[in-house]
Structure 1
Amino acid sequence: MARLNNQPQPGFTIPSSVAVVIGVVVGIGIFRLPPIVADHAASGLQFMLFWLAGGVISLLGALCYAELAASRPDAGGEYHFLSRAFGRPPAFLFAWARMTVIQTGSIALIAFILGDYASQLLPIGPWGAAVYATLTIIVLTVLNMLGTRHSRRAQNLFTGLIIALLILLPIAALISVPSAPVPAPAPADDTMGSLLGDGSLGMAMIFVLLTYGGWNEAAYLSAELHDVRRNMVRVLMYAIGTITLLYLLVNAAYLHVLGLEGLREADTVASLLAERIFGDIGSIIVSVIVMLAALSTANATIITGARTNYALGRDFGLLRFIGRWNGRRNTPVHALLVQGAIALLLVALGAAFEESISTIVDYTAPVFWFFIMLTTATLFVFRRQHGGDTNSYRVPLYPLVPLLFLLACAGMLYSSLTYTGLGAVIGVAILASGVPVYLWAVKQQARE
């Protein structure tokens, strides 16, 4: 019985799990990334189709992840799947990528978005966004090092505020604000052909799917979801369906009020939308809510990222420095320090470029899509090894659905490598640096 108490126990229902997934996905990206997507759209219709496509692609991926999580529930999520299918090396590289690229890149991205909104309220010069981002990371890292416990109620409150904004603001905009003038159509040309040819489609979908990103974190709930074999697919389908509807609603409001051209020029688009509806006070209120939500999201990312890093250090002696747990403060102090230092370096990287947020996205996108694709490929390995678990959920239309999602992942990986800048090169180089680190770690373990 004591052994059972040391294992994760089912505590999540379908509604609570859906709430977690929505809370992870529906973050502050929807308040900053739509203008960047609009830059790559040839028309308002195409802009909306990008967001619909993002929901469809996410649903395909969720169906694949649902089978993996239902048939092999484990708190290790993707790390567990990769380790079981391909062995320790890919699993190590995945954990290395989360520490150096994916999680730290997310922290830097969130901090920059907070910095944009903070600079709107209290400008402090051309480097204001980077300064606010730096302060955010330092303060939250120090608070976690001191053992400050994350408040689940506060996290739920801020998630609720974001969802309320995504419902109330667009409804108010669509009802009370006249439509923005539609510009005259451009001279006839092959719009779709030019869009595909110059990489705009791929670039747009990188930012769209980043805004949808986070549904894969449901895999980490698999060990704690009631009747996971049947309920995981329901959790993901309900969550992604709800998120897609919210995103289509809010982006329709952006287009309705600002128009495509106005949207392209709006960095703090949510505050601008609120200003058009409610005046200056509306803009201030929305900016404050987005900033508070960004603090909450950044804090949650710092907490989960540091604990993944701690586990990596615990499993590999070479990285034992980050695998030490401070019992007095009940927190992985060294893992937090390393994570914070990497995130600050990424803020410096972003600040060195005119488009700081795009640079951070470039840094994370290739690595993220590589491991999403690799994790999806484990489905074929498990089916070949065991034929699939007939007692749990199985992805429909196999192998068509996972093949379609793998093609989408390959397309995102190609776009993130081909049409991005120096940030992508650096991200891939950091991932590659994990190979000699792994070999060194294995060699040291063999000596011990």
Structure 2
Amino acid sequence: MWQEKKMEEKTNLRKRREDEGSIQSTEPKVTDLQKELGLFSGICIIVGTIIGSGIFISPKSVLSNTGTVGPCLIIWAACGVLATLGALCYAELGTMITKSGGEYPYLMEAFGPIPAYVFSWASTMVIKPSSFAIICLSFSEYVCAAFYSGCKPPEVVIKCLAAAAILLITTVNALSAKLGSYVQNFFTAAKMVIVVIIVISGLVLLAQGNTKNFENSFVGTPASVGGISLAFYNGLWAYDGWNQLNYITEELRNPYRNLPLAIIIGIPLVTVCYILMNISYFTVMTPTELLQSQAVAVTFGDRVLYPASWVVPLFVAFSTIGAANGTCFTGGRLIYVAGREGHMPQVLSYISVRRLTPAPAIIFYGVISTIYIIPGDINTLVNYFSFATWIFYAMTIIGLVVMRFTQKHHKRPIKVPIFIPILVILISVFLVLAPIITDPAWEYLYCVVFILSGLIFYFLFIHYKFAWAQKISKPVTMYLQMLMEVVPPEKAPE
């Protein structure tokens, strides 16, 4: 009796350790996504995905839309608060519905298949690939800046290097989830080096009395409502990634603990870094000089770190490539989950037999992202991305409020105060409507029409399931399955 009790205690202890990630399970792995990521990897994915190209690109755009230093810094702080509040809402959703895919399973649960499909369509074809393309283009610009000192690099060179970056990152993540996680951890550590260098250098200069650029910080032409919304767009682009951990919930160990904890640690850390980095920029550059800078961080390095200024573009490149890796890691999971639910071609839900990764989804994601490099104007892509993204952020958090009433008895390990999702919804609606009202443009209509055009494919291929579509898809799926050595995911034994 005593021995049986002792064995039961050992078994329970082992299960707890497996949940916390301190030991690995010896059970054979099934052909499905594996729980490879612990708390540290979760924090690295959040920090590593958020701190990417945005903080090195967006300062110019935020300042140009606010006009003066004071409102610019307020926008950066407000964006951090909004990202934190949004992430807390997603923490409730992620611990309530422990499925990968981010907004997709939450919209499915709250509103049914049609809104979920429209989201997967827009994310697969616009939001996620354009984000990946923007980050890789930013990486390419900073790398090329080191070789084309004093002049703008050729567009062809920038785009070819960005395409090569997409190919490399896609290959790494298709080969191994663990390798992708290790790459993410390394580049997150590397990017924190450049953040610390910029912040400490700026604070030292500030302590030495370089405060001239902060005088009369609020004097100037007041920003318009549309300008403020566009400043928010560009600031929030730099914070984009606050919801990325919800895309890989099924691969987190102990998600009830690690998902909210990674959010609570990661996003406030990023907010503090961003505010301090902007303060550092303004200690060295006037607003006019910052707006004229080809690459803000490189200009900062040239003025402060000379002759070691080469460090800045190198570590900025590390930062952007790390953000691109995190975006690819999570974006592929959305396509995988949509395929598993029947809202994308079935082959995109298959798992590599040898690698245990959603290789078809990741490769598809890389191909679409490469296409977005061809037009390649970063500011236009950011505006498209932000407009479409905040439509779905609003819908998802509305779904959270709806499920408070429709699923009252559902287990909620985390439950945020109701005023937080309501506030985030109101701000999201403002961000969507303000630029349309103050500065109407055909581009916004094109974006909405494209999103709604997904309904055509939904009714043709999913709702009605025409026989001719099935005849085409079956041989294609079979051929790709043999070519890529992938199979449908298995369910782990209960």
- Could you state the TM-score of these two structures normalised by the residue count of structure 1? 0.84
Q: Which string of whole-angstrom CA distances, capped at 9 and with x for unpartnered residues, describes residues 4-30 of structure 1?
A: 978888776655533432222222211
> 2:282 is matched with which residue: 239, 249, 255?
255
Q: Which residue of 2 aligns with 1:428?
A: 448
- 2:139 maps to 1:114: yes
CA distance in 2, matches of 1:30, 1:58: 15
Q: CA 1:417 to 1:142, structure 2 compared with 1: closer, same or farther past 3 Å?
A: farther
> 1:272 is matched with which residue: 289, 296, 299?
299
> 1:89 is matched with which residue: 107, 114, 124?
114
> 1:345 is matched with which residue: 371, 379, 401?
371
CA distance in 2, matches of 1:19, 1:147: 17
Q: Where do residues 22-421 of structure 1 align in structure 2 (5 Å cutoff)?
A: 22-123=47-148, 124-141=153-170, 150-176=179-205, 179=210, 181-182=212-213, 191-192=221-222, 195-197=223-225, 199-220=226-247, 222=249, 232-282=259-309, 284-316=310-342, 319-320=345-346, 322-323=348-349, 327=353, 334-350=360-376, 356-387=377-408, 392-396=413-417, 398=418, 400-415=419-434, 417=436, 419=439
DSSP-derived class of the 2:416 partner? coil
Q: Which string of whole-angstrom CA distances, capped at 9 and with x for unpartnered residues, describes residues 190-219 of structure 1?
A: x43xx124x110000001111111111232
Q: Which residue of 2 aligns with 1:353?
A: none
Q: CA 1:310 to 1:420, structure 2 compared with 1: closer, same or farther past 3 Å?
A: farther
- Greater shift, 267-276 or 124-133, is seen at 124-133
Give the Å deviation of 1:92. Answer: 1.5
CA distance in 1, matches of 2:422, 2:343: 38
Q: Which string of whole-angstrom CA distances, capped at 9 and with x for unpartnered residues, describes residues 290-338 of structure 1?
A: 2233233323433433343244344438723545555467665654554
CA distance in 1, matches of 2:81, 2:357: 39
**1:51–1:208 CA contact under 8 A, matched in 2:** yes
- Greater shift, 335-344 or 32-41, is seen at 335-344
Give the Å deviation of 1:166. Answer: 1.4
CA distance in 2, matches of 1:329, 1:393: 34
For residue 412 of structure 1, what is the amino acid of its counterpart? L
For structure 2, the 5+ residue unaligned runs are 1-14, 16-26, 471-494
DSSP-derived class of the 1:433 partner? helix
**1:362–1:424 CA contact under 8 A, matched in 2:** no
**1:362–1:423 CA contact under 8 A, matched in 2:** no
**2:117–2:343 CA contact under 8 A, matched in 1:** no
For residue 179 of structure 1, what is the amino acid of its counterpart? N
For structure 1, the 5+ residue unaligned runs are 351-355
Q: Which string of whole-angstrom CA distances, capped at 9 and with x for unpartnered residues, describes residues 7-66 of structure 1?
A: 888776655533432222222211221111111122211111001111121122123222
CA distance in 1, matches of 2:298, 2:357: 36
- Greater shift, 219-228 or 407-416, is seen at 219-228
CA distance in 2, matches of 1:151, 1:144: 5
CA distance in 2, matches of 1:108, 1:337: 14
Give the Å deviation of 1:384. Answer: 0.5
Q: Which string of whole-angstrom CA distances, capped at 9 and with x for unpartnered residues, describes residues 367-397 of structure 1?
A: 211111111011122111233657632212x
CA distance in 2, matches of 1:80, 1:231: 19
Q: Which string of whole-angstrom CA distances, capped at 9 and with x for unpartnered residues, describes residues 408-428 of structure 1?
A: 111111245454866545443
Q: CA 1:151 to 1:220, structure 2 compared with 1: closer, same or farther past 3 Å?
A: closer
DSSP-derived class of the 2:413 partner? coil
Q: Where do residues 11-22 of structure 1 align in structure 2 (5 Å cutoff)?
A: 16-22=41-47
- Could you state the TM-score of these two structures normalised by the residue count of structure 2? 0.77
**1:75–1:223 CA contact under 8 A, matched in 2:** yes
CA distance in 2, matches of 1:23, 1:93: 28
**1:306–1:339 CA contact under 8 A, matched in 2:** yes
Q: CA 1:3 to 1:388, structure 2 compared with 1: closer, same or farther past 3 Å?
A: farther
Give the Å deviation of 1:184. Answer: 8.9
CA distance in 1, matches of 2:435, 2:66: 17
Superposition RMSD in Å: 3.5
Higher gyration radius (CA):
2
**1:366–1:417 CA contact under 8 A, matched in 2:** no
Q: CA 1:146 to 1:171, structure 2 compared with 1: closer, same or farther past 3 Å?
A: closer
CA distance in 2, matches of 1:346, 1:301: 15
DSSP-derived class of the 2:200 partner? helix
Q: CA 1:141 to 1:69, structure 2 compared with 1: closer, same or farther past 3 Å?
A: closer
**2:293–2:299 CA contact under 8 A, matched in 1:** yes
For residue 357 of structure 1, what is the amino acid of its counterpart? I
For residue 439 of structure 1, what is the amino acid of its counterpart? F
Counting aligned pairs with the same residue, the percent is: 26
CA distance in 2, matches of 1:146, 1:187: 51
Q: CA 1:225 to 1:211, structure 2 compared with 1: closer, same or farther past 3 Å?
A: same
Q: Which string of whole-angstrom CA distances, capped at 9 and with x for unpartnered residues, describes residues 170-203 of structure 1?
A: 21123147637549969987x43xx124x11000
Q: CA 1:235 to 1:298, structure 2 compared with 1: closer, same or farther past 3 Å?
A: closer
For residue 382 of structure 1, what is the amino acid of its counterpart? M
**2:351–2:358 CA contact under 8 A, matched in 1:** yes
